[in-house]
Structure 1
Amino acid sequence: MAVAETGIALIEEKMTHLERVLDQLHRRRQGLRDFITDNRRAIAPIRRLPTELLSEIFSHCVERDAYDWDPTVNQEWILVQVSRSWRAVLISMPRIWSRIFISNAFPPKNVNLKAALLLQLERSAQFPLTIDFDFEVASAEQRISVLEALFSARDRWQHVNIHLREADFLHFRSDAAFPKLTTLGLSIHSSMDECAFDSIFQATPALQELHYNGQTNIWIAEGRPTTSLSQIQCFPLSQLRRLDLLNLMYDPADLLSVLGLASNILELRLRRCDCFVAAEVNPKTLPNLVSLDVAECDDFLLGSIIAPVLRRLAISFDEYTGMSDDFASFMTRTGHSLTDLTLHYLNF
């Protein structure tokens, strides 16, 4: 029995030694595997791509990202964390950081929105910005913090679609300039008469397209619609090439004033616009208008426009009005340059 116990002790000692050797071999094997993996990454074909081609791939990847702005899921924010080399390439591409779409999205969790936006604006360098801001579900504090970050780079705004509430509008009421702004989509949701407000978009020397959404579902006590075309008469309408007016309950005098100021437009689009007061007016001549698109609007609009060089006309009639005398009168006043006519009947 003594000999057997001694034998067991010797065997256990050898087993312990073998376990240490086996553990060393496991570690060595894992080290060799890690070495192979690291070197495979180093010689991976994507690492041999020129920076220009890698940048093109990143651009396509980011442009196909359908998500609203959120640093936790947006492709550019994920790719920049892959490696130091990818980070360097992405940071050197200000264009992919220049698109900011904050539209009907819940605020990302555990993210300082203003700090993240400021970082993205910093990475966009001096590249012109494309912004879509319709942050309806956010709190007033969140909206203001995001707007403050966006307005800090207003000198680089180029294509902007922005939905403002009354509080936002008053908070940013200023004489600030927007020197690169070429396309502006603007909608203002307010319970007050917006004629009382000065526009924050007064200095827009490069503006070419204006898309104005009236949001006409609120009326004030006096019976006037809350949205007035007087709101946009401070824009440089004479330099516009395209004007879109949507969801308006308008006063004829306001509309005629706007059309008179925007006499150089090439394209005019009118959607869901209704005259507040019927009135006999002298139509305005738009000498350069080549495209007119009218849908779900009252007859007054056709009776207030003369377009001698119009080439494209699209009109949607509803089942109540049909083709009115105003349409016939408009066609009579329109020159013989019309080449594209679309008539659509809306059957509700």
Structure 2
Amino acid sequence: MDRVQCSAPCTVHCPSYQPQRLHFCEESILHSNEAPTEHQRRDVQRSIGDAYQELNSIQNELFELQCAITRIQSREIALHNFIFDHSPVIAPIRRIPNEILCEIFSHCVQSGTHMNAPNPSGMALTLTLVCRKWRRVALGYPLLWRKLRLQCTPQTCLPGFCFCEPRSWLHLDRSAAAPLQIAIDAYSSATGKRLLDVLLSHSYRWADVSLNVTVDLYRELFMNRITAEIDLPILKRLSLRFMYLNNLEHPTPFLRSLTALEDLTLDMAGSRISSALLPVWSQLRHCALRTCQLEDILRVLPLLRGDASLALTSCQTTAGPRPTVRTTLVSSLSFADCDEVFVMTILQAITAPRLTKIRALDFLNTGKLVELLLPLLARSDCNLTHLCLDLPYTTLAISDLFLLLDSPHTKSLLDLELRCMAIMSTPFMEALSRRANAAPQLRALAFRGCVALDEGGLLDLHAKRKGVLRELWLTEALNMPVVSEPTRQVLSAAGVEVVYFHADPY
């Protein structure tokens, strides 16, 4: 075998290299300017010739070795390319049935977008760009194309052409008969009337609708339509945000069609709630009212069904006579960014025998709030299971809170959420560990706004409520854990799960 063909030089195929013996001249001649003799000159000339000959041999051998290395490297690259090209053939995802792939796509779209995103179907469009199979599956799955957003304004669309129309036609065609989720953020009758007419012709497929009601949209939906043009048999979730003061005092085809509505978010911009919504309240499971007047809310409360939840946001007190006590069957009541006088008036004016959840945020006078909640729970004879309160930076607030936790109406309390500073969480945990009768069934404890916890107090609290406390919810601060990993492992081994949340759990 030739040396070039030997992949591993050895003593058999590759004899050891024997360099030629060169003749070195004397030091006195080599490192001086003395003239050599004729005999010395011939010896040096012969030695230089031998060195050139050996150098040429070495260069030839290096070239042959470099050719061998290049050939091996080319083979290595070819094998890598072969593996890279053929590995996807046996990838597990190729064996996933189309039905399972559709479910994966559906979860991907739901987690990657929401109705308030600039392009709710952006994730679906991304899935169609991966490969031909994914594009075919995505285009053939109507639920991926059920989200549609309409933004027609004179600034974004032309009077003769609406830029929202091509995408809307495409989505309506791809969604087939799937229920639609529609958001109309901006509307102008000069540019989007034809598109709105087409969407209303598909109103029988509307399932989740969010509307920012401008003057033009108000006229098109609530004034210029006849009953036959609007049919909303499956609309379960509706969000209406009025951009101006309005007066919906007469029933309209749109409101009369809300026979399946269960979830209503209403932002009245400070104006009165229409009496045309009177038949709707008794069928709601979830109701969120924003910037509404006190009189309207007291009128709505007795109409809600027994398992309904009511969330009030940015509501203020208006001048008027003191309301009488009314009975409501709501199971959940929430206040956020409301006037404290408004909250006090509501809590004093209602009796709620089925009330199990209370959430009162931005009410910093804990003592006054407890003074209102205790009579409400007593006259309603109800038991709380969920409680969420602000805990301001006062030791007195903890004492006021335990007046409520020691009440017989909170013995069934399961979840407690406190919005407090880190310095307030430690004395609260110490007080909770000392008082075994306060919320004895408490299984979940949540701290919001807390960037650090006394881990010794936390372990002591767990020891006092071992087997009862199961969950500890904390707000993650600056991507740093509030509880150290060793403490978390100790709690986890004892059955307490530490969870970091970002969204509102209620």
* TM score, norm. by length of structure 1: 0.70
Deviation digits for residues 234-262 of structure 1, max 9, x if unmatched?
A: 442112122211122x152x333322322
Q: 1:286 to 1:99 in 2, by over 3 A?
A: same
How many angstroms apart in 1 are the aligned matches of 2:383 and 2:152? 43
Tell me the number of residue pairs that the alignment of Structure 1 and Structure 2 aligns: 294
Residue 168 of structure 1 pairs with residue 217 of structure 2: yes
AA partner of residue 62 (structure 1)? V
How many angstroms apart in 2 are the aligned matches of 1:44 and 1:103? 45
Q: Give secondary structure in 2 for the equivalent of 1:178.
A: coil
How many angstroms apart in 1 are the aligned matches of 2:366 and 2:387? 19
Identify the residue that residue 280 of structure 2 maps to in structure 1: 236
How many angstroms apart in 2 are the aligned matches of 1:143 and 1:320? 49
How many angstroms apart in 1 are the aligned matches of 2:349 and 2:288? 16
Q: Give secondary structure in 2 for the equivalent of 1:201.
A: helix
Segments of structure 2 that go 5 or more residues without pairing to the other structure are: 1-81, 394-506
Is residue 366–residue 391 contact of structure 2 (8 Å, CA) maintained in 1? no
Structural mapping, 1:98-247, within 5 Å: 98-101=146-149, 112-135=163-186, 141-173=190-222, 174=225, 175=227, 176-195=230-249, 198=252, 200-216=254-270, 227-230=271-274, 233-247=277-291
How many angstroms apart in 2 are the aligned matches of 1:188 and 1:91? 35
Q: Which moved more, 1:172-181 or 1:83-92?
A: 83-92
Larger radius of gyration: 2
Structure 1 residue 143: Cα displacement:
4.9
Structural mapping, 1:1-348, within 5 Å: 43=89, 45=91, 49-66=96-113, 68=117, 70=119, 74-80=122-128, 85-101=133-149, 112-135=163-186, 141-173=190-222, 174=225, 175=227, 176-195=230-249, 198=252, 200-216=254-270, 227-230=271-274, 233-248=277-292, 250=293, 252=295, 254-287=296-329, 289-295=330-336, 296-297=338-339, 298=342, 299-318=344-363, 323=368, 326-327=372-373, 329-344=375-390
Higher relative contact order (CA 8 A, sep 6+): 1
Deviation digits for residues 143-197 of structure 1, max 9, x if unmatched?
A: 5455334323211111222211121011123332210011111111124444467
Percent pairwise identity: 26
AA partner of residue 291 (structure 2)? N
How many angstroms apart in 2 are the aligned matches of 1:144 and 1:328? 54
Q: Give secondary structure in 2 for the equivalent of 1:273.
A: coil
How many angstroms apart in 2 are the aligned matches of 1:293 and 1:197? 29
Deviation digits for residues 104-153 of structure 1, max 9, x if unmatched?
A: 99959998312321221121111112223323xx6554454553343232
How many angstroms apart in 2 are the aligned matches of 1:104 and 1:345? 45
Structure richer in helix, relative to its length: 2
Structure richer in strand, relative to its length: 1
* TM score, norm. by length of structure 2: 0.50
Is residue 317–residue 346 contact of structure 1 (8 Å, CA) maintained in 2? no
AA partner of residue 281 (structure 2)? L
How many angstroms apart in 1 are the aligned matches of 2:392 and 2:206? 38
Q: 1:279 to 1:329 in 2, by over 3 A?
A: farther
Q: CA RMSD in A?
A: 3.8
Structure 1 residue 308: Cα displacement:
1.0
Is residue 128–residue 135 contact of structure 2 (8 Å, CA) maintained in 1? yes
